[in-house]
Amino acid sequence: MLTSTDFLFYVLAFISVFFGAAVVIARNPIYSAMSLVITMISVAFLFGALDAWFLAGVQLIVYAGAVTVLFVMVLMLFDLKHEMKTFSKGLLGNGVKLIASGVTLGMLLVYIWSTYATEPTFKPLPPAATSSIKATKDLATSLFTDYIFAFEAIGALLLIIAVGAVTLSRITGGTHHADS
Amino acid sequence: MPILDGALKVGLDHYLYLSAVLFVLGMIGVMMRRNVVVILMCIELMLNAVNISFVAFSRYAENVNGQVMVFFVMTIAAAEAAVGLALAVTVFKKFREVNIRFFEHLKG
Amino acid sequence: MSSLLALLIFVAFLAAFGIFIIVGTSALGPKPEVSKAKAMPYESGVVGTEQKDSRMSVKFYLTAILFILFDIEIIFMYPWAITFMDFVKSGQGMYMLGGMGVFVLLFVVGLIWEVKSKALDWN
Amino acid sequence: MSNTVLFAILLLAPLIGFLFNGLRWKSHNAYLAGTVATVAAGISFLCSVVLVSKLFGEGAVPAVSAKFYEWMAIGGFNVTAGFVIDHISAIMVLVVTGVGTLIHLFSIGYMSHDERPSKYFAYLNLFLFNMLLLILGENLLLMFVGWEGVGLCSYLLIGFWFSDSEKAAAGMKAFITNRIGDAGFLLGIFTIFFLFGTVNFQEIIGRVSGVPDLTWTGPVTLACLFLFIGATGKSAQIPLYVWLPDAMAGPTPVSALIHAATMVTAGVYMICRLNPLFLMAPNVLNVIAIIGAATAVMAATIGLTQWDIKKVLAYSTVSQLGYMFLACGVGAFGAAMFHLMTHAFFKALMFLGSGSVIHAMEGEQDIRKMGHLKKYLPITHATFFIGWVAIIGMPPFAGFFSKDEILWKAFTSPHGHILLWLAGVIGAVCTAFYMTRLMALTFWGKSRVPESVHPHESPPSMSIPLIILAVLSVVGGWIGIPHALGAILPGHPGNWLEHWLHGVILEPAAHGAHPSATLELALMGVSVSLAALSALLAYNFYVTNPERPAQFVSKIRGLYELVYNKYFVDEFYFARIINPLIDASKGMWAYIDVNFIDKTTYAVSDVVRGMGSAAKSFQNGNLQQYAMYIALGVAVTMFLILR
Amino acid sequence: MGKDAFEITLNIVKMILIFLVMVQLVPVLVWAERRVSGFMQNRFGPNRIGPLGLMQLLADAVKFLFKEPFFPAKGVAAMYHAAPVMALIPGALALAAIPLSSAVIVEPFQWLGREFGPYTFLAQGYDFGVGIVMVLGISSLGAYSLLMAGWGSSNKYSLLGAVRASAQMISYELALGLSLVGILMIYGTFSFQEMINQQLGQALHFNALGKEVVISWLPNWGIFYNPLGALIFFCATFAESNRLPFDLPEAEGELVAGFHTEYGGFALLMFYIGEYGHMMVASALVTVFYLGGYTMPFYEITPAYVQQAWFGGMHPNWASLLTGVVFALVMLVKVMLLLWVFIWVRWTLPRFRYDHLMDLGWKTMLPWALFNTILTAAWIAFSWR
């Protein structure tokens, strides 16, 4: 019988696919940004459905709360009147691109169906092994034992990106000639 | 109806279908849209699709590596978005318009 | 799992509540003919030059970028924070401190560079 | 010391000399370079003497050998870098190192004011090293290495004053004709390997089957034929002799060493070394004999008309080599070796003599501008006189014994023939005539020396070798006194050389009665008297009344022109062989190369350029197209994987 | 949600009740603010309608309901109308995640002939394992309502105000996040319930460089472990909810009224609900982290003790219910105290200039929070062998 979790999955899946498509199709980039936010939130809840609560929180904070804010802010920076005109829906007609992605999608779905759907072991969602706090702690310990190098690399990367972004923004010819 | 139940019972494959669909949506977006910011958003979408499959696998395979990977993917995605938008802004400053075509001027 | 369902139901309820109010006020309130002047963007009486989408200064998106980067570094601190006690109790405190020390060092270097390069100054 | 060490020193001394001088090739110090080179040659001479001494005495061992390392091992075919001195190579090694050292000594004086002396001595030492390789090599491949090495050194030394384009051309000519010969020699080695499966001399001789190959296309005949072609190339016989006279462009000691004593005899030595094989190919022996005789006569006649002192000696060398091949052709390999040795002594002597004459005359080589030099060059004249007597074949001297041995074997050997003997005698007569002519025009008669030139005796370092060689020319012949002569001489000296070579050189089966000693003495008498008569005639021609030659020549103008121009052999070669070859290749180039080969290469490059431009359109900077290609790629691969 | 219909319905009712508490508390706060500011400025504040002017709130509510639904000419309709709804959601969601009192444990009982099994009702809307991370995530969504309002009303100033407000919000979110790390290290967990249990029932005890220190007269609250963290966290929440020292974006004097210039009627009220909601969430978080949540400072009073000692006689279900009420009151008192501080600060501190505001966020609070984290880390590493 359709349990609450299944119903939940289908609702969230529908939301994320619907608003995912909206991101691609929306004429006004601001609308696509907003639909991106909604997709992020639904993906966060999907993580929740998979009992990865800490990741759901992080997704909300990082993606929904920071990255998309940046997108919206940058979009507000550009005057979108011009953007609207160059909307590239016209290019949608470009058949090859569609065919390629269609074939890929078809292949992916068939592949997944052939390997996982028929696999009984993956069918029912196994019960959550540990409490979500315990799961988060396992995540943290493994982050600091197995992936310590990656962790340090990420630190260095973020530093570099920070420096890079600032210097990039410093390039002359600012938006307002006054404050360039 | 057992088949329907079977199909409807949410298993790992349902998550993979979802991630596949989102991924392809992102891919189409990247190819179709001409606005750089929208392209970056579609890339974020694709990365999210990957995250879903990561978490789904880690959930069904009962190990935590998948989630750590998602962690890293997120940071990379954020860094990429930051730099991408910085570039988009620089292009915008020069050309008053953020169209993917203007990156062609970077062509050697 | 059930708490997620509860959350979703709650969100639905909130959205419904909000929409109900918005629709309610627009339904209840009087709807006089809106004069052109009234519909103009309110600029405390001064009739400003019509430049709707004035372009923002670079500073804002720069803050947003830096926010993302430092936010991620803080997010990385959370898992460290909650397992720090266990590591200390199990005797590996120094290792954890060291690992995180390097990370925080990079964080501080980034911050100092930001401050020094006057990226955060709002002139 | 053990054989290996001795062999090593023997071989390496000249090599080290070459390296020392070679690395200091810019230095102008002739004495240092000369002494080092001579010492190196001397060391190798001493080692060879010590090694050869082991073949004598009570502990006599048939051959002394040393193996250094495994050179080649390919399947069944394995070649070791090993060296051996047996009875034949003992003679050769002593001759080569002995005469070589003397000539090195002589060169010090001769090359003292040349601007590149150490380069000259380096080449000389390298030549000596290669010659030793050729002689001592225990298998055909090592011999071939030496063979090529000496060819190279002769090219380098002939063209030593390469600034003079004519001398450089002479070097090229020598090298190319040698190469043609070497090709034949190489084919010979291949056929031998095909036949016997080995290139080692001992093994070849061991595997030679007793039955002679009478056909013209049998493997043994072919092998011997090819080897003979190689020999003609190296030892300047009829078809490939043209390079030797032009080789006189090199410094005189070089001509003495290489083009008289050592290198040119390599062909004879090789044939004698493989004499059992050649005996199995009677047809080839006949060919050798005929060519030998023809060369002897032809070269001798040309010698009559030459005015350059070195050219005369060069043609005399060609004719003497003709004699040696005649001896081989009739199966008298022992006589060939004997003549080889004696010829080395007196021919080297005469070349060095001519060297000192030229040195005295400050480079003048035309005998018409010489005359009455015995007054100015007493020692050179005395030694030259001994050489002259030896080459004519007067009894007590070396030339008589070795040449008569050949004539006697030509007459009596089963492979011999009366006509061959007759050719030999004619050759001897002409030799006597032109040698006397040479002696007369240079040393006797009235002096035609121009005033600006005042000849002076050469320094001791040049005259000592002359004296030694003169002594050798006298003594050299006594080791091979024929039995017939030995019987009547007091003390009955036996034919030591025959006994010495008996073990190694096989006498052809003498069918029919053993020829009588008196016949031998009679023939000896005939040839000696004829030679003496022609010498007197020449003396009369050029000393008593100098104008007779002119009258004689006017009578036979046509014949004289023919002989003087060396029967137009060079011109014939150019006209019939070299120029047609060049024209043919030009034609080939114009037709095949331009049309077919160039066209195809251009076609290929055009195709590639076409494909390149087609692919160029992919990189047009449109990022989204790139994304599309990636998507397309993913789709295709997924399709392929999952199909 | 629960195993059977009864539990589910009760849970849903509980959630709605919590939301209504928030919505009702807002007018009380507005009233309190006007009264308190009045007394501070030596005047009365609203006291005409109803006793002490309480009815004033109801009157305002009704007035707002009947205001004219205004929509700016070139505004973006979807954004304009979605903004107020979006303002409401984060505050409510966050509040529902915070435990307001001890859990009510219900043994199986008979009612209307049906057997009802054992339940445990948490005194909070829903319980994620990772409490604080989820709350932070949801509160970070607040920036969107500002941006949507700014963009939707297509007014130059409101857009500028919105962007400024969101820039300020995200900058202080950094300090907010970082200041928590200190206390999280000590508790070692994300879920609020465990934090509160750690602060329950003992005197303040900690290990200073190997020596066990017990201060009997102080309750084992978080604020004594991490005072600097608490201060930074509290200030950052001011900025998060755009409360006074940091309310430059919608300050009347500066940019007309910031992002909600074009709004009127109940939409404006919803923004206020959102703002006060954030305040409540902030003060609830502070109480949970640093002031011991719903526990009483006298350490021997634990929910089990109260249930046993005070309401021993009654039926255990009712006893646990009443303990829940008692502790809910304790929580309410603490939250009210902090809210009072919010209001008090609003009418005392002058407004920051924008660049000072941002400098404060980036160049002082963030470094101090970092310092606090490092300090706590070192203290734990070296003392807690």
Q: Report the mean per-residue pLDDT for chain B.
A: 83
CB-based contacts of A62, cutoff 8 Å, min separation 6: B74, B75, B78, C68, C71, C72, C75
**What residues does each domain of chain A span?**
1-93
Which letter does DSSP use for residue D593 in this model?
I
Chain C residue closest to E264 (CA)? C25
Name the phi and psi angles at D568, rounded to 5: 55, 35
| D127, amino acid identity | F
Q: How far is residue D451's CA from residue D114's CA, in Å, rounded to a whole number?
A: 25
Alpha helices in D264-374 (DSSP H): 266-273, 275-279, 282-304, 309-329, 333-360
Which residue on chain E is closest to C20 by alpha carbon?
E85
Give the CA angle between residues A42, C82, B63 to the nearest 5°: 60
Inter-chain residue contact C81 with E184, CB threshold 8 Å: yes
**Percent of chain A clearing pLDDT 70 (strictly above):** 78
Q: State the nearest Cα–Cα gap between B47 and chain A, in angstroms.
A: 11
**8 Å CB contact between D420 and D410:** yes
- Burial profile C94-105: b = 16 or more Cβ within 10 angstroms, e = fewer: eebbebbeebbe
| 3-state SS record for E103-148 | CEEECCEEECCEEECCEEECCCCCCCCCHHHHHHHHHHCHHHHHHH
pLDDT per position as a tens digit, C52-91 = 444 556 778 888 889 999 999 999 999 999 888 888 888 7
Domain A1-93 belongs in CATH node 3.40.50.720: no
Contact B107 D631 (CB under 8 A): no
Instruction: Say how many C-beta atoms besides its own lie within 10 A of residue E217's C-beta.
Output: 7
| Cβ-based neighbour number of residue D483 at 10 Å | 12
User: B43 to chain A: which residues are within 8 Å by CB?
Assistant: none
Across the interface, whether the CB atoms of B78 and C69 are under 8 A apart is answered yes
Q: In chain D, what are the domain boundaries?
A: 1-138, 164-564, 582-642
Residue A37 pLDDT grade (very low, low, confident, very high; cuts 50, 70, 90): very high
Spatial separation of the C-alpha atoms in residues D396 and D285, rounded to whole Å: 31
- Of D298, D69, D258, D56, nearest to D175 (Cα)? D258
Under 8 Å between Cβ of D635 and D629 = no
Domains (range + CATH), chain B = 2-106 (1.10.287.3510)
Rg (CA), chain E: 22
Instruction: Say whether the B–C interface has 3 or more Cβ pairs within 8 Å.
Output: yes
**Burial of C26: CB neighbours in 10 Å, binned 0-12, 13-18, 19+:** middle
DSSP letters for E249-266 = GG-TTTSTTGGGTT--HH
Rounded to 5°, the CA angle D377-D383-D384 comes to 80
b/e map D230-253, b = 16+ CB within 10 Å: bbbbbbbbbbbbbbbbbbbbbbbb
Average pLDDT score, chain E? 83
Would you say E69 and C26 are in contact if contact means Cβ atoms under 8 Å apart?
Answer: yes
Q: Does C79 touch chain E (CB under 8 A)?
A: no
What does D525-585 look like in DSSP terms, one character per residue?
A: HHHHHHHHHHHHHHHIIIII-TTHHHHHHHHTHHHHHHHHTGGGHHHHIIIIIIHHHHHHH
Name the pLDDT band for E385 (thresholds 50, 70, 90). low
Question: Can you tell me the distance from the alpha carbon of E297 to that of E221, in angstroms, rounded to the nearest whole number?
Answer: 8
- More confident site: E152 or D134: D134
pLDDT at residue C47, rounded to an integer: 56
pTM for the model: 0.62
Q: What pLDDT does D123 receive?
A: 93
For D628, the closest of B31, B34, B101 (CB atoms) is: B31
Return the bridge partners of D51, or none.
none
pLDDT of residue A43: 94
Domain membership flag for residue C123: no
The helix/strand/coil state of E243 is: coil
Half-sphere exposure of A117 (CA within 13 A, CB side): 16
CB atoms within 10 A of CB A139: 24
Q: Is the dihedral of CA D335, D338, D342, D347 positive or negative?
A: positive
Q: Chain A: list its partners (3+ Cβ pairs within 8 Å).
A: B, C, D, E
Q: Return the domain boundaries, chain E.
A: 67-383
> Given CB atoms, is A101 within the 8 Å cutoff of chain D?
yes
Q: Is D637 in the A-facing interface, judged by CB distances under 8 Å?
A: no
| Residues contacting residue D452 through CB under 8 Å, at least 6 positions apart | none
Identify the closest residue of chain A to E141 by CA–CA distance: A65
User: Is D508:D415 a contact under the CB 8 Å cutoff?
Assistant: yes
Residue D153 contacts residue D258 (beta carbons within 8 Å): yes
Q: Which residues of E touch A57 (CB under 8 A)?
A: 128, 130, 133-134, 136-137
CB-CB under 8 Å, C4 with A48: yes
pLDDT per position as a tens digit, B27-79: 988 888 888 888 999 999 999 999 999 999 888 888 888 889 999 999 999 99
* pLDDT (0 to 100) of residue A119: 66
pLDDT of residue B108: 56
Q: Which residues contact E142 (CB under 8 A, 6 or more apart)?
A: E87, E90, E91, E169, E240, E274, E278
Distance CA D449, CA D368 (A): 9
Are C79 and A76 inside 8 Å of each other by CB? Answer: no
> How far apart are alpha carbons E205 and D144 in whole angstroms?
103
pLDDT digits (tens, 9 = 90+) for E122-149: 888 888 778 889 999 998 898 898 888 8
Read off the tokens for D636: 């295709």
Q: Higher pLDDT residue, B7 or E27?
A: E27
Of the candidates A44, A73, A133, which has its C-beta nearest E190's C-beta?
Answer: A133
Identify whether C61 is part of a domain.
yes
- Average pLDDT of the segment spanning C96-115: 90
How far apart are alpha carbons D218 and D281 in whole angstroms? 9
H or E element in which residue E354 lies: helix E354-359
Q: Which two tokens stand for residue D183?
A: 């090709």
pLDDT at C49 over 60: no
Ranges of chain D with pLDDT below 50: none
Task: Give partners of D (≥3 CB pairs < 8 A).
Answer: A, B
pLDDT range class, residue B105, cuts 50, 70, 90? low
CA distance C69 to chain B (A): 7
pLDDT at res. D114: 85
Token match 């100015």: residue?
Answer: D376
Tokens standing for residue D25: 């090739």
**Contact between residue D537 and residue D278 where contact means Cβ atoms under 8 Å apart:** no
The whole-angstrom distance between A114's CA and the closest CA on chain D is: 10
**Domain interval for residue C29:** 2-116
Q: Let me know: does E308 contact E107? Beta carbons within 8 Å.
A: no
Alpha carbon of residue B106 to chain centroid: 25
Query: What pLDDT does residue C53 have?
Result: 43
Residue ranges of chain A whose CB lies within 8 Å of a chain E CB: 4, 30-31, 34, 37, 41, 44, 48, 53-54, 56-61, 64-66, 69, 72-73, 76, 131-133, 135-136
Chosen for mutation from D632, D639, D640 (greatest number of chain A CBs closer than 10 Å) is D632
DSSP state of E244: G
Higher pLDDT, D495 or B6: D495
The verdict on E226 touching A (C-beta cutoff 8 Å) is no
Give the integer Cα–Cα distance in Å for A119 and D495. 108
pLDDT at E372 over 90: yes
Say whether A118 sits in a helix, a strand or coil. coil
What local confidence, expressed as pLDDT, does residue D39 receive? Answer: 94
Give E305's strand partners: none
C122 falls within a domain = no
d(CA D424, CA D205): 30
User: Which ranges in E141-240 belong to alpha helices (H)?
Assistant: 142-152, 156-187, 192-199, 222-225, 227-240
Contacts of D643 in chain A (CB under 8 A): none
Which residues of chain B does D621 touch, with a Cβ-Cβ cutoff of 8 Å? 103-104, 106-107
- C-alpha to C-alpha distances, E181 to D83, E226, E375, nearest whole angstrom: 91, 10, 11
Q: Do E137 and A60 touch (CB under 8 A)?
A: yes
CATH code of the domain covering residue C102 = 1.20.58.1610
- Check whether E349 has a pLDDT greater than 80: yes
Please report residues of E whose CB lies closer than 8 A to that of C121.
Answer: 355, 359
Smallest CA–CA separation between E147 and chain A, in Å?
8
Residues A98-113 have a mean pLDDT of 84
More confident residue, E75 or A25: A25
Handedness of CA A71, A72, A78, A82 (dihedral sign): positive
This complex has an ipTM of 0.64
The tally of domains found in chain C comes to: 1
Three-state SS for D139?
strand
Dihedral over Cα of E312, E316, E318, E321: its sign: positive
In a domain, C54, yes or no: yes
- E85·C15 Cβ contact <8 A: yes
